[in-house]
Amino acid sequence: MRRALIGLVAAVALVLGGLIVSRLLDPAVRIPGVAGPSAITPLPAAPAAALPDAFPASGGTSALALWVTDPDSDWLSLAFGLRSIGVPLVVTTEAARATQHTVVLAYPRVSGRTVSAAASMALRQHVQAGGTVIGFEVLGAGLADVFGLTSVQEGAERRQLRFESPGAQRWGFDAPQEREIRLGTAQAPLRGVGLQAAPAARVLATFEDASPALLEHRHGKGRAYTLAFDAGAFIAGAQQGRRALWQEYINSYEPAVDVLLRWLKAVYREGQPSAVTLATAPEGRALSVVLSHDVDFSGSMRNALDYARSEARQKVRSTFFVQTKYVKDWSDERFFDANGLALARELQALGGELASHSVAHTPVFATVPVGTGEEIYSDYTPYVQSKEKTRGATVLGELRISQMLLEQASGGRKVDSFRPGHLAYPKSLPEALQATGYRFSSSVSSGMALSHLPFQLSHQREGRAPVAVFEFPITLEDERVRPMDTVLLPQAIKVADRLARYGGLCLVLIHPNVLDDKLRFQEAFVTAMRERGAWFGTVGEFGAWWRARDAVQIDVTPGDSTSAPHLRIHAPEAIRGLALQLPEGWRAPLASGRNAAHGWVMDLPAGPTQIVLERAH
The strands making up 212-219's β-sheet, listed across from edge to edge, are: 89-92, 64-68, 103-107, 132-136, 222-227, 212-219, 202-207, 160-163, 180-182
Q: At what angle do helices 231-239 and 75-85 cross, to 10 degrees?
A: 80
Instruction: Say which amino acid occupies 404.
Output: M
Indicate the DSSP class of residue 460. G
pLDDT band of residue 11 (cuts 50, 70, 90) is very low
Give the Cα separation of 175 and 178 in Å (integer).
5
Of residues 337 and 6, the one with the higher pLDDT is: 337
Q: Can you name the residues that pair with 226 across neighbouring β-strands?
A: 135, 215
pTM over 0.85: yes
Q: What is the pLDDT of residue 3?
A: 52
Match domain 52-278 to its CATH number in 1.10.10.10, 3.40.50.10190, 3.40.50.880, 3.30.300.180. Answer: 3.40.50.880
4-8, 244-248, 259-263, range with the lowest pLDDT: 4-8
pLDDT at 558: 85
Q: Report the SS3 class of residue 168.
A: helix
Best CATH choice for the domain 285-439+483-546 from the list 3.30.70.2740, 3.20.20.370, 3.30.450.40, 3.30.200.20: 3.20.20.370
Q: Which fold has domain 551-615?
A: Immunoglobulin-like (2.60.40)
Q: Provide the pLDDT for residue 477.
A: 97
Q: Which residues in 52-88 are b (16+ Cβ under 10 Å) and which e?
A: beebeebbbebbbbbbbbeeebbbbbbbbbbbbbbbb
- Report pLDDT digits (tens) over 573-593: 999 999 999 998 899 999 999
In the chain, where the domains are located: 52-278, 285-439+483-546, 551-615
- Over residues 463-518, the pLDDT tens digits come to 999 999 999 999 999 999 999 999 999 999 999 999 999 999 999 999 999 999 99
